[in-house]
Structure 1
Amino acid sequence: MSDSKPTEASSILFEDTFNGRELDRSLWNVEGPVFWVNREAQAYIDSPGTVRLLPEGSIAGATGGVLELRARYSAGFQTPDGRSVDFVSGRIDTRDKFDFTHGRASARIRLPDTEGVWPAFWMLGNGSWPETGEIDILEYVGESDWVGVAVHGPGYSGETPLVNKYFFEDGATAADWHIYEVEWDPETILFKVDGRTIYRVTRPMVELYGKWRFDTPKHLILNLAIGGEYPYKVNRFKAPYYGLPPASADLIRREGAAIQIDWVRVEKI
């Protein structure tokens, strides 16, 4: 499978290959437990148990070191704002450290085969949501034969009509390594998996529903949510955790669940 390396080093605006011993805090922020959205079942914490780098050679198929965001069982974990949860996990972003307007963002990622998890690789504008726009390069609800992409903005947020599913071919699954990519210019947002175009959103398509909000800087986000609104809309499990099947909750109790990232890159186009 292609590593999708850029043709010119000068085209690189941002890159992290995760070959250090710890996450580079000059590039990334780590989210804390007060943050909560979408009826998710986890709290994000800044801990080596949920956000860690794994050395070269430790993960099969990786090209070097690996970033791992891991969900773990932590019965009755109390957040500072009084929420009680049974799972903790990791979320990182580049807000106030790196953003860009137009270009190519890509990452090589391996996802867990665990129904009801909700990992994502995505971008947000730096103002209020949805006014400054959202680009979802990868969303996943744990059904290993497909992944989703979407854009959100004013008039097309939440249940956006600008969404697509990509079903893997030839026996591949989301639990294999794949390159997830978006190419974004003033008129088009083009989504790709392993170099193959899977969805195109154009300015006229967006303006059918609302204003085009994709001429302003966006920052990168990687996260692993557990349960929540999107998984629930697919699997309809309500209890004991919203959007998380009991079998998946049991699996996370025993083993955890993780998204692994080989590298992240942003380039000029």
Structure 2
Amino acid sequence: MLYCPAQADSNPDLVASTSVAPQWKVDFFDDFDDFNPQHWQDQLLWVNGEDQCYLPEGLHNTREVSDGSLKLRVVDLGSLQACDNLSKTGEQHPDTRYVAGRITSKNRQEFSKGKWTARLKVENSGQPGMFPAWWLLGARNNEPPVQEQDENVCWPMAGSGEIDIFEHHSDGGPDHYAARVIKSLGHCGGGDWQGHMLVQQATLAEFHEYSVEWVGQDIVFRLDGTEVYRLLEWGDKIAEPMFAVLNFAKINNSPMRESWTMEVDWVRHESLD
């Protein structure tokens, strides 16, 4: 029996699970032998008041594919530089000394339901301002790049929903991450971040497999294949095609003490056979 004792008594979405594991078939896999533009593109935007500027093409070593893995970094340039990232309302990011990498499978690899998994690690976790993430967004999301006519739905309305599979917010210290589904409050920009969230301990400097899957009517989060969180009756609430995002953000102006790198060994999507 798999159980989430930390939150099961207080959150009706959490229950013990005795379900039989479903059978999956792989329909997307990237082990990062190179950077494949049929799988990923850079995503340049300014959200959440983040301090860093996202750069394309791995400029300043913000994105590197080498030795069979992807490295996304936050880099301190040492002095203020102009940033052309725009907010949702078209406001330009102020000058900043920090630059970073963010990639997305938007309009490349998008899937409805199934199972998403990434094997990754984060060095030097817990430093003030760290915000690396592995997550999903609905394919009709209206944030840049907007490349199709139907990309006109604001976050987090249906068609632009969000699932965070792995998110390390440094405010809680090292070696933990959050997994969540964001509940739409019914208007643009209105999302409940806390009501459907698990905070889980893990040794972030070591590789782990972080996954989310749709199992029957439920959404299930796993760490190294073990169920850690289950949301009952959420499987059809976020059923739209979704794309993946991998990014390393910096959420305040605290100085960087050590290098910041999220290393991704591989990403996979599976569908039920």
Give the letter for the 1:139 counterpart: E
Contact 1:126 1:219 in 2 (8 A): yes
Q: Can you list the C-alpha shifts for 1:44-91, whole angstroms capped at 9, x where unaligned? A: 001331111012xxxxxxxxx010001101221211336211100000
2:47 matches 1:47: no
User: Shift of the alpha carbon at 1:144?
Assistant: 2.5
Q: Which residue of structure 1 aligns with residue 83 of structure 2? A: 79
State how far apart, in whole Å, the 2-side matches of 1:193 and 1:77 are: 39
Partner of residue 13 from structure 1, selected from 9, 24, 27? 27
User: Shift of the alpha carbon at 1:184?
Assistant: 1.6
Normalization by structure 1: what TM-score? Answer: 0.75
Contact 1:153 1:213 in 2 (8 A): no
Contact 1:130 1:153 in 2 (8 A): yes
State how far apart, in whole Å, the 1-side matches of 2:256 and 2:39 are: 34
Inter-CA distance 89–82: structure 2 relative to 1 (3 Å threshold)? closer
State how far apart, in whole Å, the 2-side matches of 1:144 and 1:258 are: 14
Q: Can you list the C-alpha shifts for 1:217-249, whole angstroms capped at 9, x where unaligned? A: 010000000125xxxxxxxxxxxx1xx4xxxx2
User: Shift of the alpha carbon at 1:186?
Assistant: 5.6
User: Shift of the alpha carbon at 1:11?
Assistant: 1.3
Q: Which residue of structure 1 aligns with residue 5 of structure 2? A: none
Q: Which residue of structure 2 aligns with residue 234 of structure 1? A: none
Normalization by structure 2: what TM-score? Answer: 0.74
Inter-CA distance 66–82: structure 2 relative to 1 (3 Å threshold)? closer
Identity of counterpart residues, as a percentage?
Answer: 28
2:156 matches 1:130: yes
Give the letter for the 2:82 counterpart: Q
Which structure shows the higher helix fraction?
1
2:149 matches 1:145: no
Contact 2:120 2:264 in 1 (8 A): yes
| Structure 2: 5+ residue stretches without partners | 1-21, 85-91, 141-153
Partner-residue secondary structure (3-state), 1:259: strand
Q: How does 1:1-269 map to 2 (within 5 A)?
A: 11-20=25-34, 23-32=35-44, 35-48=45-58, 49-55=61-67, 65-74=68-77, 75-80=79-84, 81=92, 83-114=94-125, 115=127, 116-127=129-140, 128-131=154-157, 132=159, 133-142=161-170, 143-155=173-185, 157-168=191-202, 173-185=203-215, 187-203=217-233, 213-227=237-251, 241=253, 244=254, 249-252=255-258, 256-269=259-272
State how far apart, in whole Å, the 2-side matches of 1:72 and 1:250 are: 9
User: Shift of the alpha carbon at 1:105?
Assistant: 0.5
Give the letter for the 1:72 counterpart: V
- Greater mean deviation of Cα atoms: 45-54 or 92-101: 45-54
Q: What is the root-mean-square deviation in Å for CA atoms of aligned residues?
A: 2.2
State how far apart, in whole Å, the 2-side matches of 1:135 and 1:29 are: 19
| Structure 1: 5+ residue stretches without partners | 1-6, 56-64, 229-240
Which aligned runs of 4 or more in structure 1 are off by greater than 3 angstroms?
A: none
Give the letter for the 1:40 counterpart: E
State how far apart, in whole Å, the 1-side matches of 2:93 and 2:119 are: 36
- Greater mean deviation of Cα atoms: 36-45 or 185-194: 185-194
